[in-house]
Amino acid sequence: MCCDTKGVNAVYTKPPYTITEKAADYLAKIVENITRLEFGTSFKRDIKLHRENRLRTIYSSLAIEGNTLTLSEVSAVIEGRLVAGTQTEIKEVKNAYEAYDKILNFAPYAVSDFLKAHKLMTDGLVKESGAFRSGDVGVFDGSKAIHIGARPQFVPGLIAELFEWAKDSTLHPVLKSAIVHYEIETIHPFADGNGRMGRLWQTLLLAKWNSIFAWIPMESVLYQNRPQYYQAIEAARKANDSGVFIEFTLSAVFAIITTQEEHQEKHQKKHQEKHQVKHQVKHQVNLSDIQIAVLKLLENKTLSRKAIFAAIERNSDSRSFKRHIEPLLMNGLIEMTVPDKPNSRIQKYRLTDNGRTFSRKDN
């Protein structure tokens, strides 16, 4: 089921695809790892990470198409801050944010929703926003045509048949998502925005299988591997079989899931270490209220002995120093700025990493 790459009167019946052993292996790993990410980590509850990933998704999908805004600039646009970009690039970011923000509301096999999503993605950017193209379109390398999309009069029927096949197919959703992505690129149903829509619709199909995919930036891996992405599309076209593209796309999905797992593992390890430090300090060191006040005081400052005692309103004599400061030094919660000269006149004190961790926890 593939439209003729030369744009002749092709009819969709079933897309030509081959599920290779490598693709099947990736599928098994994706199913296993996404389950572990969903139920074995805090990913689903990490709203901050969701937002960061959504930004990476938008930035990457647009960057593939040549948008020059940086990730931080994309973030600024979404937050409503001014950036030094072209109005077109800024509009692309705002539109993509709207489209991805509503991704779970789209029905993946409804042509009307496909057009609605395109309207959101390209509103104010192209004349035929939210509508199938009325003219011929192609992808060129200089004057050489690399790919010619289906003739415009056949586009509505080809998309309808593609979605009908996808709706009825019992193929695993992960495999199906890759095939639909490739077929959208091949049909080239719009005057502009075909790449963005192909990636959006693959993410949608994945998210309908497991909603966690709405927050996984597969597009970032495609952007990082742009040459291989284009090569996979071209190789699939030459073979008239999307098997190569399926392999590549599933490798991208697996890679980003693995990255998210690693992020969660690091986050969990850091959390456990902080908790352990707090636990150890609380049990090994019986900190007084004054000592806790000293830690809080040094959170963002490096102070002399005199300044510390002035701030906590205590005398800075030797007895007070041994009672309030020495235990913090001995237990590695604070340190000297001139450790080899304890009595230096320029001596000051600052928090260690352990001290900083403890001071920021509730006691």
| DSSP 8-state class, residue 79 | T
Contacts of 285 (CB under 8 A, 6+ apart): 327, 331, 333
Look up residue 142 and give its two tokens: 């200089």
State the DSSP string of 35-68.
HHHHHHSSGGG-HHHHHHHHHHHHHHHHHHTT--
Q: How many CB atoms lie within 10 A of CB 344?
A: 12
Of 353, 348, 351, nearest to 336 (Cα)? 348
Of 275, 186, 267, nearest to 232 (Cα)? 186
Look up residue 86 and give its two tokens: 């072209």
Q: Residue type at 279? A: H
Give the C-alpha separation, 128 to 155, whole Å. Answer: 14
Angle CA(231)–CA(217)–CA(206) in degrees, nearest 5?
85
Per-residue pLDDT of the chain (363 residues; tens, 9 = 90+): 444 433 434 445 789 999 999 999 999 999 999 999 999 888 998 999 999 999 999 999 999 999 999 999 999 999 999 998 899 999 999 999 999 999 999 999 999 999 999 999 999 999 999 999 999 876 655 556 566 778 899 999 999 999 999 999 999 999 999 999 999 999 999 999 999 999 999 999 999 999 999 999 999 999 999 999 999 999 999 999 999 999 999 999 999 999 999 988 886 666 555 555 555 555 556 788 888 889 989 988 899 999 999 988 888 888 888 888 988 998 889 999 998 888 898 999 999 988 887 776 644
- Tokens 């990255």 sit at which residue? 259
Angle between the 87-101 and 111-122 helix axes, to the nearest 10 degrees?
150
| pTM of the predicted protein model | 0.71
Contacts of 8 (CB under 8 A, 6+ apart): 151
